[in-house]
């Protein structure tokens, strides 16, 4: 047996659903209710729940699943007692609720719709409500000797993965064919991809492209000997994008030579001794062959320097001592400005003498 519980706001629709004729099995119990129809039950529950204006989800929906092997040995009275015990253990003794059975699926199950607001105006606490329902279902299953859902689930988890030996054997054959052809044509470009698909079809393996609603391909499916497998079952190399990358031609480049610490130290030592060179290493410096040529060049350079110095001294003396050769930087601009002011003053004096 398994139990589920959830707080809902659509109490009217939930009551209409559980009393639907096509799905209704047996009406089990009406607790703290007078009406027997969905509309009547909802009005009674609404009268109580309207006293609480802050609660939003004012109804509880409980489902109790019963295993097929237990359904055969349960009578109607046993099912009623089971529903009543479940509701009481969930703490709904002072609440309004109705329980019915459904047979719309292969397994019989019980529906309970309860008012979350009690007859005394208390709001049902929904903290860990689903865990509470599962625990109550397990307790009742142990008490009445019924199947426990948790144990059934644990048994399924520990089942052998190779449940179908024929399918597993076929999958191994497909893997062997696909990996052998992939090793043969890997990294050979479009031609290798085409040959891979051609040899697969010759071996009896067909590939189907899976598309979504927008028409885009999102995966591959392999078929062989009446069995179909997803690409992930064959291997991670056979996905839609992974398979295309396997056929890309790789550009092989020579690896760089590894440098040792000794090589680095020797290189740094050579650079430290060379220093800054005026002449690049590709153009070695050649000294003049004749010392006479070098002396004549030096004498010519010295004469040009003396001539330039003498010319500068004459210009300074002709300026009347207005320019101070010791000034540097921004003092040149200041000196020029003062010189201009004095020239303007001299011109005004000359004009005055003329008058």
pLDDT of residue 342: 81
Report how far apart, in Å, the C-alpha atoms of 223 and of each of 168, 178, 199 are. 13, 12, 14
Q: Name the average pLDDT for the chain.
A: 77
User: How do residues 21-35 score in pLDDT, each as one tens digit?
Assistant: 656 778 899 999 999
In whole angstroms, what is the distance from residue 1 CA to residue 134 CA? Answer: 9
Cβ proximity of 71 and 155 under 8 Å: no
Joined together, the tokens standing for residue 159 give 């089942």
In the structure, what pLDDT confidence band is assigned to residue 44 with cuts at 50, 70 and 90? very high
Cβ proximity of 1 and 67 under 8 Å: yes
Give this prediction's pTM: 0.46
Residue of higher predicted confidence among 124 and 186: 124
Q: What is the CATH code of the structural domain delimited by 2-157?
A: 3.30.930
Residue of higher predicted confidence among 106 and 342: 342
In whole angstroms, what is the distance from residue 293 CA to residue 299 CA? Answer: 10
Mean pLDDT to the nearest integer, 84-113: 90
pLDDT of residue 244: 84
Lowest mean pLDDT among 85-99, 104-118, 281-295, 331-345: 281-295
Domain ranges of the chain: 2-157, 167-246
């Amino acid at each position: 047996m398994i139990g589920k519980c959830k707080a809902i706001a659509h109490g009217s629709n939930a009551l209409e659903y559980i009393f639907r004729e096509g799905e209704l099995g047996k009406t089990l119990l009406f607790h703290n209710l007078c009406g027997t129809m969905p509309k009547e039950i909802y009005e009674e529950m609404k009268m109580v729940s309207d006293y609480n204006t802050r609660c939003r989800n004012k109804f509880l929906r409980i489902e109790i699943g019963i295993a097929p092997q237990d359904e055969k040995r349960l009578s109607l009275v046993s099912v009623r007692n089971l529903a009543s015990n479940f509701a009481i253990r969930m703490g709904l003794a002072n609440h309004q609720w109705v329980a019915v059975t459904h047979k719309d699926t292969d397994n019989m199950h019980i529906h309970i719709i309860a008012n979350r607001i009690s007859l005394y105006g208390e709001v049902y606490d929904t903290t860990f409500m689903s865990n509470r329902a599962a625990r109550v279902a397990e307790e009742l299953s142990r008490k009445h000797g019924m199947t426990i859902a948790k144990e059934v689930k644990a048994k399924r988890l520990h089942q052998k993965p190779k449940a179908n030996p024929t399918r597993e054997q076929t999958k191994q054959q497909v893997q062997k064919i696909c990996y052998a052809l992939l090793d043969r044509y890997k990294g050979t470009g479009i031609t290798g991809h085409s040959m891979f698909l051609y040899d697969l079809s010759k071996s009896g393996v067909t590939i189907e492209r899976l598309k979504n609603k927008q028409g885009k391909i999102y995966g591959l499916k392999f078929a062989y000997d009446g069995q179909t497998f997803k690409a992930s079952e064959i291997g991670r190399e056979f996905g839609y994008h992974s398979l295309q990358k396997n056929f890309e031609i790789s550009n092989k480049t020579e690896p760089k030579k590894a440098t040792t610490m000794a090589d680095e130290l020797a290189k740094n030592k050579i650079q430290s001794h060379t220093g800054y060179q005026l002449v690049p290493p590709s153009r070695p410096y050649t000294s003049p062959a004749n010392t006479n040529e070098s002396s004549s060049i030096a004498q010519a350079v010295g004469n040009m320097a003396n001539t330039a110095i003498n010319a500068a001294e004459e210009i300074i003396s002709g300026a009347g001592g207005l320019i101070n050769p010791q000034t540097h930087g921004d003092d040149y601009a200041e000196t020029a400005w003062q010189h201009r002011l004095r020239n303007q003053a001299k011109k005004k004096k000359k004009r005055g003498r003329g008058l």
